[in-house]
Structure 1
Amino acid sequence: MASPEGAARMESRTIDVVPESERHGTPRSQFTLWFGANMQITAIVDGALAVVFGADALWAIIGLVLGNILGGAVMALHSAQGPRLGLPQMISSRAQFGVYSAAIPLVLVVTMYLGFAATGTVLAGQAINETVGVDARWFGIVVFGALTAVFATLGYRYIHTIGRVSTVVGIIGFSYLGIRLATQHDISSLLGAKPFDIVTFLLAISLGAGWQLTFGPYVADYSRYLPSDTPAPATFWATFAGSVLGSQWSMTLGALVAAIPASQGGIGFLGNQVGFLGDLAGGGAVALAIYLVIVVGKLTVNCLNAYGGFMTMLTTVSAFRRTNQVGQVVRALYIGGFIAASVAVAIFASADFLTSFRNFVLVLLMVFTPWSAINLVDYYLISHEQIDRDALYDPDGRYGRWNLVALTSYAVGVVAQIPFLAQTLYTGPATKALGGADISWLVGLVVTSALYYAWARRTTSSVAVAEPVWDAGQHAR
């Protein structure tokens, strides 16, 4: 992949370190990937939920801005690790958890990817069916699954290419939808229609922050090919700007759409998201173009889910098999199996099951904030960006098999959030006392960070190892 000719080949790297000879690109690629991945219909739905749950559109938009900024900062700090380490995100967490125990949160991470892939595939499938005029529900789902399989299997370069395409078509398509919304409805009447409410405002913040935090377990997967001398602030800001601007644009559109009253033609966006956007576009050929915008945006993020799911599964298995490489056939089988599972769920699951499954996935968000806290605190404050990369693949190395400090801090961080949850499946007592406000993600970050930092700084020795130089054959010298 270091040469132009190599750009046409399937990616060969998986969970192994990317050698300097294969590094390429600039931080700008992080902006287009994450901007494109967030210019999509599910982000619109996320913004709409803030209004559906009772927030005024104006305060919902402000809350979403704050949530995206806070969560985006955490997410971008993970991205900045990629060029320095040249590693997928979840492999680097072995430095905190140990080679074996790093697999514990990975099972839940795969479940999250599968849930988002399945529910996103349903929406993309609807858009494909509308585009080609096919009624069979399975048709669009299978076509979209096949497209995802191709790009996710080809790997890093192609996923970034889809991100650039999604950025362009997303800007054009969403700008048009915004213009249509402004000309067809009285936007000013949608803002400030309700008084400020702290509970719904905090909910909007949580929706924005939670959206960004879900990218944390795989964001460095897409920055690890950048040259190792890429300034960390450049990677941080490019990722942060792309993800926050893209998601906020989409969520703002969602909040405004959800606020349209029946008197202005509001028809319940959440009941028919794809059809609503087609109608907003004006129908006809323009609606078909918007359906294609939806497909491209969902394809970008679905490739991230499939690629991240593959990396996560391989990280888990490799811990016990003591390997850091797999062949391209095995790679394709991992990705194909993941996508087949997501397509099967999308086809055979009922609407009620998909709703319940998505709610379950949202509850799982509480397992990612403690993981992020431990990974970031250790990398930036304890290890000071020094990682013994050889030891990440060796259960008998300096990081060992299990790390009691990280596991205990992680468990405490998860349990601490339970009283503060406000989800469909469960509402905690602290949340009820707060009037329904969900601040669980903030509790998870603060409690886990404080406990892990205080404990790990006393028990973790500095990484006094020379940084290895990696040649094209992936051998340290």
Structure 2
Amino acid sequence: MKDQAGAGVVETRGIDFIPDDERHGSPSSLFWVFVGAQFSFTVIVFGWLPVAFGLGWWSSFTAIVVGLVIGTMVYTPFALFGPRTGTNSAVSSGAHFGVVGRIIGSILAMVTAVGFFAISIWTGGDSLVAGANRLFGTPDSDAMAALAYAVAALITIAIAIYGFDTVVAAQKFVVPILGLVMVVGVFALASKFDPSYAGGAYLLGDFWPTWLLSVATVASLPISYAPFANDYSRYISRRVPNSRLLLANGVGMFIGCAIACLFGAYMASIFGAAETSFVGGFISISPTWFVTAVILFGLLGSFGQGSVCLYGTGLDFSSLIPKLPRVSATLAVSAISLLLVFVGRFVWDVVDSISAFVILLVVILTPWVIINLIGFAFRKGQYDVVDLQVFNAGQRGGIYWFTGGWNFRAVGAFVPAIVVGLLCLNTTLYTGPWANVANGVDVSLLASAGVAAVLYPALMLIFPERGVVPTHLNASLPSALEVNGVLE
């Protein structure tokens, strides 16, 4: 059955293989999705964080650019899996972690997506509450916040349920609008901007540790999208040259992140690090005529980023429960995400722990990304698309079964990598016993990535992988799947 319904029609495909004749995506789809996903207060806050850490404008600028270059370099190649495997990142990782071990990727992707969805709804809803309070004097209350969160969340959920084509169409719609809002915002507040702004007290007590923490925080942003790259590249034909795919994916991510993060640093340097809420600070310094645009940005930005997160989460949740349809999985995970939005905002008050959450998450996620990329290089991008779907079909066996469905080489590199990363972690929520190994500089991300990059090839050298040469490639997949009963 072909699934090229277009925007506004519910997508029927999930994590099952996308046949060649249904691959109506293109590199431009990746570009628009990952530019649009960054045009939200969630990502703008990443530009605010270096200023909140105590850096000035120019030091924040350099930290953002360096961090995004590093993060984008790690993120960009991940989109190569989709055209070759015809499925999402988590299922693709089964070729390296084992068809059962790829549950690790599904869980990481779900935690990442649910967390970012919650942050996007918090920031978008807060912009509506704060803006309405300033324009109309409506109460800045928990009840108003709850209503704003509900409105933003429900529209976002609807976009995610419709699926691939609707998410792509939504991004193409919001990018020019939100881009214009940021351009107007720069000019509207230009008279208040001072490029010589020197910052405040350094969060980690000295410039270089604080600057490097900012670099790591910003680098974590592109890396955190790696589990979702193949949600969209799986609809791209494998005949598309790698160079076009990499260019669209990398440039889209870098441009989107750079515009949003630098805009955040620009605004934060105007109202300074004393503000505890970026959205509140932005509203407070904006001219009255511009507040409506800020509200629009908050809501549309929530729809854009939140739908990308929820769409990917629905795919990953369906991959944990074989035969669970994507729409049902998306509805289930949406309920969990909504619960997190309200409990996190009104019970736990976790909104101010964004940087710590992201650093902790990416310290765990990065080794997974590194192991998959190394595996891709070792396998020369060749995958058996039938055997990747074994777990989804409730079956056993295949070349990626390894030992009980787990590849101890990948898992044996992943676990020590995250342990070392956590030991070196230095955040406001948690400080590891090795946090001062580099005189207070947070090297957790570098440490976890380095351990994975060394251990995984070493384990494959000591314990060579046998029998992982693919026999079913994309061209022969439909008949091969039918023969093996995976499509029954």
Question: When the two structures are superposed, what TM-score results if normalisation uses the length of structure 1?
Answer: 0.88
- Alignment partner, residue 372 of structure 2: 375
Residues 1:40 and 2:40 aligned together: yes
- Alignment partner, residue 421 of structure 1: 425
The 2-side partners of 1:333 and 1:246 are apart by 28
Deviations 1:112-147 (A, max 9, x none): 322222232111112334566664221111111110
Structure 1 residues 38-77: aligned runs within 5 Å: 38-77=38-77
**Paired AA for residue 193 in structure 2:** H
- Alignment partner, residue 393 of structure 2: none
Residues 1:463 and 2:469 aligned together: yes
SS at match of 1:61: helix
- Alignment partner, residue 305 of structure 2: 301
Cα contact 1:306–1:338 (8 A) shared by 2 = no
Residues 1:344 and 2:342 aligned together: yes
The 1-side partners of 2:341 and 2:430 are apart by 28
Alignment equivalent of 1:439, drawn from 411, 422, 443: 443
Range with greater deviation from structure 2 (145-154 or 394-403): 394-403
Residues 1:92 and 2:92 aligned together: yes
**Paired AA for residue 265 in structure 2:** A
Structure 1 residues 231-270: aligned runs within 5 Å: 231-260=241-270, 266=271, 270=275
**Paired AA for residue 375 in structure 1:** N
SS at match of 1:271: coil
**Paired AA for residue 273 in structure 1:** F
Residues 1:190 and 2:190 aligned together: no
The 1-side partners of 2:291 and 2:105 are apart by 41
- Alignment partner, residue 144 of structure 1: 152
Cα contact 2:25–2:233 (8 A) shared by 1 = no
Structure 1 residue 232 displacement after superposition: 1.6
Cα separation, partners in 2 of 1:41 and 1:333, compared to 1, 3 Å: closer
Cα separation, partners in 2 of 1:2 and 1:276, compared to 1, 3 Å: farther
Cα contact 1:84–1:229 (8 A) shared by 2 = no
The 2-side partners of 1:330 and 1:363 are apart by 30
Deviations 1:278-323 (A, max 9, x none): 3444113x311221122112211111221122222222222xxxx4
SS at match of 1:425: coil
Structure 1 residue 386 displacement after superposition: 0.8
Cα separation, partners in 2 of 1:180 and 1:329, compared to 1, 3 Å: closer
Structure 1 residue 68 displacement after superposition: 0.7
Structure 1 residue 378 displacement after superposition: 0.1
Cα separation, partners in 2 of 1:283 and 1:470, compared to 1, 3 Å: farther
SS at match of 1:80: helix
Structure 1 residue 393 displacement after superposition: 2.5
Residues 1:389 and 2:385 aligned together: yes
The 2-side partners of 1:454 and 1:201 are apart by 33
- Alignment partner, residue 27 of structure 1: 27
SS at match of 2:431: coil
**Paired AA for residue 344 in structure 1:** F
Structure 1 residue 474 displacement after superposition: 7.0
**Paired AA for residue 128 in structure 2:** I
Deviations 1:230-268 (A, max 9, x none): 1122111111111111111221222233333xxxxx365
The 2-side partners of 1:310 and 1:302 are apart by 12
Deviations 1:374-433 (A, max 9, x none): 1110012x1110111111122311111111111110011111212321111222344324
Cα separation, partners in 2 of 1:389 and 1:3, compared to 1, 3 Å: closer
SS at match of 2:161: helix
Cα separation, partners in 2 of 1:384 and 1:25, compared to 1, 3 Å: same
**Paired AA for residue 332 in structure 2:** Y
Residues 1:312 and 2:316 aligned together: yes
The 2-side partners of 1:367 and 1:328 are apart by 26
Cα separation, partners in 2 of 1:12 and 1:270, compared to 1, 3 Å: farther
Structure 1 residue 179 displacement after superposition: 1.6
Cα contact 1:131–1:292 (8 A) shared by 2 = no
Structure 1 residue 471 displacement after superposition: 4.5
- Alignment partner, residue 154 of structure 1: 162
Structure 1 residue 7 displacement after superposition: 4.6
Query: Would you say how many aligned residue pairs link Structure 1 and Structure 2?
Result: 462
The 1-side partners of 2:4 and 2:328 are apart by 25
**Paired AA for residue 278 in structure 1:** I
Structure 1 residue 346 displacement after superposition: 5.0
The 2-side partners of 1:280 and 1:371 are apart by 41
Structure 1 residues 150-229: aligned runs within 5 Å: 150-187=158-195, 189-190=196-197, 197-229=207-239
Alignment equivalent of 1:366, drawn from 353, 363, 366: 363
Cα separation, partners in 2 of 1:225 and 1:272, compared to 1, 3 Å: same
Identity of aligned residues (%): 26
Cα separation, partners in 2 of 1:451 and 1:140, compared to 1, 3 Å: same
Range with greater deviation from structure 2 (417-426 or 86-95): 417-426
Cα contact 1:115–1:358 (8 A) shared by 2 = no
Cα separation, partners in 2 of 1:200 and 1:368, compared to 1, 3 Å: same
Cα contact 2:47–2:265 (8 A) shared by 1 = yes
Aligned-pair Cα RMSD in Å: 2.8
Cα contact 1:32–1:242 (8 A) shared by 2 = yes
Residues 1:334 and 2:342 aligned together: no
Cα contact 1:374–1:448 (8 A) shared by 2 = yes
The 1-side partners of 2:236 and 2:63 are apart by 33
Range with greater deviation from structure 2 (465-474 or 224-233): 465-474
Cα contact 1:117–1:342 (8 A) shared by 2 = no
Structure 1 residue 350 displacement after superposition: 4.4
Deviations 1:150-185 (A, max 9, x none): 000000111111211221112101111122232223
The 1-side partners of 2:453 and 2:179 are apart by 37
The 2-side partners of 1:471 and 1:231 are apart by 23
- Alignment partner, residue 263 of structure 1: none
SS at match of 2:300: helix
The 2-side partners of 1:416 and 1:359 are apart by 17
Structure 1 residue 210 displacement after superposition: 0.9
Cα contact 2:118–2:338 (8 A) shared by 1 = no
SS at match of 2:10: coil
The 2-side partners of 1:175 and 1:217 are apart by 30
The 1-side partners of 2:473 and 2:51 are apart by 50
The 2-side partners of 1:474 and 1:194 are apart by 61
Structure 1 residue 436 displacement after superposition: 2.3
**Paired AA for residue 435 in structure 1:** N
SS at match of 2:364: helix
Structure 1 residue 5 displacement after superposition: 5.5
**Paired AA for residue 398 in structure 2:** G
Cα contact 1:421–1:431 (8 A) shared by 2 = yes
Cα contact 2:109–2:227 (8 A) shared by 1 = yes
